[in-house]
Amino acid sequence: MTANTVTTHTVTTNTATTEKTGARTDEAAALIGDARGRIDALDDRIIGLIQERMAVSAVIQEARISSGGRRVNLNREMEVLGHYRDALGKPGTALAMTMLELCRGRI
């Protein structure tokens, strides 16, 4: 009769790291931490680009209004919505609507 040997591996994790990342190993927690750092940097860039877009949009609106035109060009907005939808699917439309609202205000 041979004895069956079962080997168990114990993985220790830092509880604070596990709670913060949801990871069950220190290796996964490190990977998640690094990826979140990249996401935070991307978010900062996206916010900066949206702020830049808002400023450019304000210039366009001012030129349109001062020339006797309307504040909003609905044909152009439909082009923007279509572009985002084509690139990102249905959620892209919602994202574009939010961005347009930030850039021109509510209509």
What confidence tens digit (pLDDT) does each residue in 62-100 have? 999 999 999 899 999 999 999 999 999 999 999 999 999
Model pLDDT, residue 12: 54
Q: Is residue 98 part of a domain?
A: yes
Residues 24 and 59 placed together within one structural domain of the fold: yes
Asked whether residue 88 falls in the same domain as residue 56, the answer is no
Q: Are residues 59 and 21 in the same domain?
A: yes
Same-domain pairing of 44 and 76: no
Q: Is 106 left (phi over 0), alpha (psi -120 to 50) or beta?
A: beta
Chain centroid to Cα 45, Å, comes to 10
Q: Is the pLDDT of residue 8 over 60?
A: no
* Separation of alpha carbons 82 and 75, rounded Å: 11
In this prediction, residue 9 has a pLDDT band, given cuts at 50, 70 and 90, of very low
Same domain, 20 and 62: yes
- Number of helices followed by number of strands (H, E) in the chain: 4, 0
